[in-house]
Structure 1
Amino acid sequence: MDQNHFLGIREFVAIAQTGSFTAAAEMLGITGSALSKRIMRLETRLGSKLLHRTTRRVSLSSQGEVYLASCLRAIATLEDAENYLDAGQQEPVGRVHINLPAAFGRRHVLPILLDLSARHEGLDLSITFSERMVDLIGNGIDLAVRIGRLTDNADLVARQLGEQHLLICGSPAYIARKGMPHAKEDLLRHNCLIDWRRGARHAWHLRNAAGIGEAFDIPVRHEVGDGEAILAATLAGRGLAQLPTWLAHQHLQSGELIPVLHELSGETMPIHVVWPRTHYMHPRMRTIVDTLLRAAQAPGSRWRWDAPPGAA
């Protein structure tokens, strides 16, 4: 590529960030007229008006906003590469914005990330929790862990970490009071606890006579928008819930929860780590992805829990 393609980029970014030709010229150590000429050459080469200039202020055109975003991404990539080299090609440095599913993220991903950041002083984390499928690119998220089947998206890269296994369970007190269900139709006489989702069908996936999973409509007593809260309601004897084994296994082992209809339940959902597709993967990103993959593949990992429900 002709190196002239890079002329004017530094000057354009300086103006966009300072909002002033004068301030940008002072920052770059050049004259205002020289700065204006470089911007004119850049706009001529691109065939687009990047800046609107008045006597009082400088603003970006719509094309300028798009070009600035591309310039900043390119600059960030170069800075990351330089930081990587300065760190001896070993230490991941910089900030990573991460989105995690609430209950699973707090229990099984956050401890790994905190341990990783303790071992790498230059690695900074910004972590959010949400049960929604967040738009990574639109929200500036570098990496996410997602539970559920992914849709095809050419802008994203995904690596599977494991599987989430679901089973239906209830407390001994609740089952003593309402009876043990022996067929899926028996669920119609029970209080069912579900995750709250706007407009969603109130159904659990159960296997039919052919062993194929299908949605079965259930009567809903309580809707709760958090996995930990659903677990608490189930332990309190408020009803039956379809819970992931990584959340319920300890209570199943202790007898605080009893699995029901396990021959019909057992739906699985994949767990992925997902990030925006780029030509260059930052060392800090690679470190986090590799660490999560190792944790998922470790013996005894709850991310690949696949024992029979009754043996939880």
Structure 2
Amino acid sequence: MSENPFDGIREFVSAAQSLSFTAAALELGVTSSAVGKSVTRLEARLGVKLLHRTTRRLVLTAEGEAYLASCLRVMDELAETQGFLTTGQQAPVGRLRIDLPAAFGRRHILPTLIDMAVRYQQLDLSVSFSERLVDIVNEGVDLVVRIGVLKDDADIVARKLGSQSLLICATPAYLQAHGTPRAPDDLLHHDCIVGWRNGTRKTWMLKDEKGQTHEHEVRVKHEVGDGEMLLNLTLAGGGLAQLPTWLVQTPVEQGLLVPVLEAYAGAEMPINVIWPRTRYLQPKVRMVVDELLALAQRDAVIFRPDLSLGTV
């Protein structure tokens, strides 16, 4: 009789999550030696080492981490399907791994995710914040929200949530001390604060007289990898910064920041939600995407920016 391809998976997942055969045994109601033997047989069947055993604890191998992620994904899908068959309604079940841009994600995306986590008790969130383009396929991330133009990639699906418009601004005190730039080339003689990007040119997006957007070189004084910190440094008088309208609307209205180069500002950057391309879209991913699309429709100020802000 052929071996059951699912033998040992439950034991492996429990041991991998607790990093202990003893804890897995208590969870499953068997002996620790039985858990260890099941995992050993699974490793032999797969032909790879999933767990390093030490006298003190278990350690996942790289192959073990990848296999665990796949097992959890399949188990989540089974739980969602069983829930639908039992209740007739689909609800997000299992762990959702989502990566967000730092300032925008905290301000505008995270509240929706928290609301969903409260409404759907079987939804577990793993939320990270970064500005880099996450490799969602290889890093096991379910959803990513990103601001900026995306490269063509057959392995991902993207839905546009909206756009953000950019302003160049500084404090009145900075402009009084250093003068107000009148043309894009003046930026080569000012203290410019930019978002940190590893290995990329330090440029801002400016419009020409025809309304076309181009990258323009600036003289970099400071580099900051978080939007909130970039705003704080600008408010402290650290120099000029190109910032999205949703981040600077209040300081501009309060007179704390002054827009400059308004004839060249207003460049827009798309806001997208991205997920791995697959034949079957898990309900938890689809439902979160739907919630974010609904959020984008409701919050037109954030996702459909008012370009008139630059004239305040």
TM-score with structure 1 setting the length: 0.78
Task: Give the structure 1 partner of residue 162 of structure 2.
Answer: 162
2:198 corresponding residue in structure 1: 198
Closer/same/farther in 2, CA of residues 88 and 241 from structure 1, 3 Å limit: same
Deviations 1:278-309 (A, max 9, x none): 22222222221111111111154412213223
Counterparts of 2:299 and 2:129 in 1: how far apart (Å)?
A: 26
Q: Distance in 1 between matches of 2:64 and 2:310?
A: 61
1:10 to 6, 9, 13: 6
User: Given that residues 195 and 226 in structure 1 are in contact (C-alpha distance below 8 angstroms), is that contact kept between their aligned partners in structure 2?
Assistant: yes
The equivalences for 1:271-282 within 5 A come to 271-282=271-282
Q: Do the aligned partners of residues 224 and 49 (structure 1) sit closer, same or farther apart at CA in structure 2, a change above 3 Å counting?
A: same
After superposition, the Cα gap between the structure-2 partners of 1:239 and 1:90, relative to the gap in structure 1 and judged at 3 Å, is same
2:238 corresponds in structure 1 to: 238
Instruction: Quote the offset at 1:253 in angstroms.
Output: 1.6
The CA distance in 2 between the partners of 1:183 and 1:137, in whole Å, is: 43
Equivalent residues in 2 for 1:1-312 (5 A)? 8-11=4-7, 13=9, 50-51=46-47, 73-311=73-311
CA contact (8 A) 2:171 2:258 kept: yes
Q: Residue 206 of structure 1 contacts residue 214 of structure 1 at CA under 8 Å; is this kept in 2? A: yes
SS of residue matched to 1:175: helix
Decide whether the 8 Å contact of 2:190 with 2:240 is kept in 1. yes
Q: Distance in 2 between matches of 1:146 and 1:281?
A: 20
Give the C-alpha shift of residue 63 in structure 1: 11
Between Structure 1 and Structure 2, how many residues are aligned? 286
Tell me, in whole angstroms, the C-alpha distance in 2 between the residues paired with 1:139 and 1:194: 28
Query: Residue type matched to 1:101 in 2?
Result: P
Provide closer, same or farther for how the CA distance between residues 255 and 71 of structure 1 changes in structure 2, counting only shifts above 3 A: closer
Question: 2-side partners of 1:117 and 1:177: how far apart?
Answer: 49
The verdict on how the C-alpha distance between 1:230 and 1:282 changes in structure 2, with shifts beyond 3 A counting, is same
CA distance in 2, matches of 1:63, 1:176: 59
User: Using a 3 Å threshold, how does the CA distance of structure 1 residues 155 and 199 change in structure 2: closer, same or farther?
Assistant: closer
Contact 2:79 2:93 in 1 (8 A): no
Question: Does the 8 Å CA contact 1:50/1:64 hold for their aligned counterparts?
Answer: no
Percentage identity across paired residues of the two chains: 48
Instruction: Return the alpha-carbon distance in structure 1 between the equivalents of residues 113 and 242 of structure 2.
Output: 28
CA distance in 2 between counterparts of 1:66 and 1:176 reads 56
Distance 1:77 1:189, change over 3 A: same
1:248–1:72 CA distance, 2 compared to 1 (3 A)? closer
- For residues 112 and 27 of structure 1, what CA distance do their matches in structure 2 show? 38
Q: Distance in 1 between matches of 2:73 and 2:131?
A: 28
Task: For 1:150 and 1:105, locate their aligned partners in 2 and report how far apart those are by CA, in whole Å.
Answer: 18
CA drift at 1:136? 1.1
Q: Which amino acid aligns with 2:46?
A: L
3-state SS, counterpart of residue 9 of structure 1: coil
Matched residue type, 1:109: I
| Residues 9, 69 of structure 1: alpha-carbon distance in 2 compared, 3 angstrom cutoff | farther
Deviation at 1:80, TM superposition (A): 2.4
Specify whether residues 198 and 284 from structure 1 end up closer, same or farther in structure 2 by C-alpha distance, changes over 3 A only.
closer
- The one-letter amino acid of 2:140's match is G
Deviation string 1:181-204 (CA, Å, 9 cap, x unpaired) is 111122222211111222322221
- Alpha-carbon spacing, 1:168–1:280, altered in 2? closer, same or farther (3 Å): same
Q: Distance in 1 between matches of 2:189 and 2:69?
A: 56
Aligned-CA RMSD value:
3.5
**Distance verdict in 2 for CA 1:246–1:68, change over 3 Å:** closer
Q: Which amino acid aligns with 2:251?
A: H
2:58 aligns with none
**How far 1:135 moved relative to its partner?**
1.0
Report the Cα distance in structure 2 between the residues aligned to 1:268 and 1:102, rounded to whole angstroms: 19
Give, in whole Å, the separation in 2 of the partners of 1:202 and 1:66: 36
- Letter in structure 1 aligned against 2:84: Y
